[in-house]
Amino acid sequence: MSHTALSPALSAVEKQDFRNAMARLGAAVNIITTDGPGGRAGFTASAVCSVTDSPPTLLVCLNRSASVWPTFMQNQVLCVNTLAAEHEALSNLFGGKTPMAERFIAAEWATLLTGAPILNGAVASFDCRISQTISVGTHDILFCEAQALVCNHHGAGLIYFDRGYHHLLRQEAR
Ligand SMILES: NC(=O)C1=CN([C@@H]2O[C@H](COP(=O)(O)OP(=O)(O)OC[C@H]3O[C@@H](n4cnc5c(N)ncnc54)[C@H](O)[C@@H]3O)[C@@H](O)[C@H]2O)C=CC1
Ligand SMILES: Cc1cc2nc3c(=O)[nH]c(=O)nc-3n(C[C@H](O)[C@H](O)[C@H](O)COP(=O)(O)O)c2cc1C
C-alpha cells in the first residue's frame, strides 16, 4: 500500500502558530538557579514538569542560546524554585537580558544540599542534580533528580497564561 505524503503547506506548523497555541497552556512559573565551579546563574522557566517519583525526577527545558546555558552545563546541579504570586517582578528580572548580579540581589536566597540557590518564600523548591540531558531542537531537556525539598503550603501560586501572570488561590482562601 502506498502512502501519499501531506504537502508541507498542509502539514507544517508555523513557529508563530505553535507559540500562539502554547500561550493557551497555563503553567507554573519557576526560577531555575545554579551555583558551583561555573558560577551562579538563574533563569525563569515555564517548561518544567514531573517525570517520575522513583527516583524523584523533574524536567526543565533550557534554550541552548540562553546566556546561562554554559553555567548550568558546568555545574550539573540546579534548584527549581516554583514562584508565589508575590514573585511576579522577580520572574521578569530572571526572564532575560538583566545582568546576573542584578537578578540575585532582588531576593533572599539560602542553600540546601547541592549549593544551588533556594528562593525564600517559593511555594516549593527542588534541590537537584542533573541526571541526564537530551537535546531537542533549540532546547536541552534537563532531567533533574531531587536531592532535597522545601514545600510551603501557604500563599498564592503564580501561573503564566496567555502571555500574562495570574494568581492562584485555594478555593477556601478566597
Ligand atoms: N520554553 C521556552 O523556552 C519559553 C520561552 N519563553 C520566552 O519568554 C519570552 C516571552 O514569552 P511569551 O510572552 O509567552 O510569548 P511568546 O509568543 O514568545 O511564547 C508563547 C508561548 O510559546 C512557548 N514558547 C515561547 N518560546 C519558545 C521556545 N523558544 N521554545 C519552545 N516554546 C516556546 C511558551 O509556551 C510560551 O508561553 C519569549 O522570549 C519566549 O521565547 C517563554 C515561555 C517558555
Ligand atoms: C514566563 C517566562 C517563562 C520562560 N520559560 C522558559 C523556559 O521554560 N525555558 C527557557 O529556556 N527559557 C524560558 N524563558 C526565557 C528565559 O527566562 C531567558 O531566556 C533566560 O532568562 C535567559 O536570558 P538571557 O540569555 O538574556 O540571560 C522564559 C521567560 C519567561 C518570562
- Which residue's C-alpha cell is 523548591? 125
Looking at domain 28-161, its CATH superfamily turns out to be Electron Transport, Fmn-binding Protein; Chain A (2.30.110.10)
Q: pLDDT tens-digit profile of 64-99?
A: 999 999 999 999 999 999 999 999 999 999 998 899
The answer to whether the peptide bond before residue 55 is cis (omega within 30 degrees of 0) is yes
Question: What confidence category does residue 9 fall into, taking pLDDT thresholds of 50, 70 and 90?
Answer: low
Whole-number Å distance between alpha carbons of 131 and 145: 6
Whether pLDDT at 5 is above 90: no
- The model carries a pTM of 0.94
Mutate which of 22, 64, 138, 139 for ligand 1? The one with the most ligand atoms within 8 Å of its CB, which is 22
- Asked if residue 38 lies in contact with residue 85, where contact means CB atoms within 8 angstroms, the answer is no
- The string of pLDDT tens digits covering residues 90-120 is 999 999 889 999 999 999 999 999 999 999 9
Q: Ligand 1: does its nearest atom lie under 6 Å from the Cβ of 64? A: no
Where helices occur in 94-165 by DSSP H, the ranges are 100-105
Distance 89 CA to ligand 1 centre (A): 17
